[in-house]
Amino acid sequence: MRSSLPKVLHPIAARPMLEHVLEMAYALSPAQVHVVIGHGAAAVRTQLAAYPVTWVNQAQQLGTGHAVQQAMPGIPDDAQVLILYGDVPLIRAATCQLLLDALQQADLALLSVELAEPRGYGRILRTAAGQVVGIREDKDCTPEQRYIREGNTGLMAVRARGLRVWLDNLSADNAQGEYYLTDVVGMAAQKLPSPPAGESLRGGRLGEKGGVEAVIATDEHEVAGVNSRAQLAALERVYQAHQARVLMDEGVSLADPARLDVRGRVIAARDVFIDVNVLLEGEVVLAPKVRIGAGCVLKDVVLGEGVEIRPHSILEGASIGAGAVIGPFARIRPGTVLAAGVHVGNFVEVKASQVGAGSKMNHLSYIGDSEIGAGCNIGAGTITCNYDGANKHKTLIGDDVFVGSDTQLVAPVTVGSGATIGAGSTITKNVEPGALALSRSPQIQRSGWKRPRKGG
């Protein structure tokens, strides 16, 4: 990856690859989750501290078999073990369940994949009858074995007692001088060595089930690993294409499925339209008939029915009522609640404010730490001066208030319902309901005045 960041922390959809794998693992309701870490262990633990995993340190990186061996002391003999990889982020729970189900008929189940170009993958070795007898790593393949198209993904399910014995019998006599986890497949296929006499596996003694079962993955992208930034970018597009398909299946129209990025969870109703180059982050809820224009960024927002977000608007941590219109080029900041039918126009910023039904602020305004009633008109260039350099203060505006253009409301201040503020005013005192408030310097006019000119 050519990076100081541990590989498994590189993101898919703004979340570490390892986090995707952990979420999938927990979807299977496991008794325990063990994560073997080595390079960058402290950073990995810090980034994923919220997950209740058992961290296992691999002080020396001596291969995949050695890595799994480090976790075995904490795993009961009668457990079913599912082995996953932190750099295979798109694996699905349904596929892993197939592996676990295959243990009903085998001692070990592995996940393989048919590849047009298997270079770099270990090859699945089978008998003429199709029985899996082992795996040969790419660097150790004979010229004939390199033509095998069935590749090993590395994922497997196996009973702990047998796995423990096979791991103890691994050898590092290979091209890389490592303990390959894949070598346990050959041991399982031969049904040797068996556990000590008198010990049995749940569902029968080792070897009675039929050795090794291969489950073939139906999507090679699902089992693809990441070893470069190019591969990471390719899987990002695969992930995003899947998210787009999910939304379209739910009744969302996308102007271009290839130009939508979802970096979180989207709950969308029918007849939503999303234009190109839209980014959805965090938790986004879209009611029916929402329209989102090109180039918008939405993070942790709830949009009511029929809301229109016009192009190049940014919304975060806000709730928008039905029929509201936002943008273009508007910014809605966290803590904002807009009621039904509110209009927020171009180059308007609203922060930590509540705005009542039908109120409008269409041009070039800043509304911060405010409560605005219903049916108000906020003129162009209006600013709520909410910060005195040390503390934030609130502006309270009642219903049906008209605020003229280029007005400064110096908080804390209250404007009563039905009041009118003349354009160009600086309001520092409360305004009574129904009153007209003006704050202007006298206009001065000098007839015949000439402007200065250069050179004269």
Catalytic residues: 363
Judged by DSSP in three states, 233 sits in helix
How many Å is the maximal CA-CA distance in the chain?
Answer: 115
Helix (H) or strand (E) holding 15: strand 15-16
Tokens 């075995």, residue located:
72
| DSSP result, 66-98 | HHHHHHGGGS-TT-EEEE--TT-TT--HHHHHH
- The two three-digit tokens of residue 180, written as one number: 């390959």
Cβ–Cβ under 8 Å, residues 18 and 44: yes
**Do residues 36 and 53 make contact, with C-beta atoms less than 8 angstroms apart?**
no
Q: Is 133 in a helix, a strand, or coil?
A: strand
Write down the residue that tokens 């209006």 correspond to. 382
Cα–Cα distance, 156 to 82 (Å, whole number): 6
Q: How far, in Å, CA of 155 to CA of 185, rounded?
A: 12
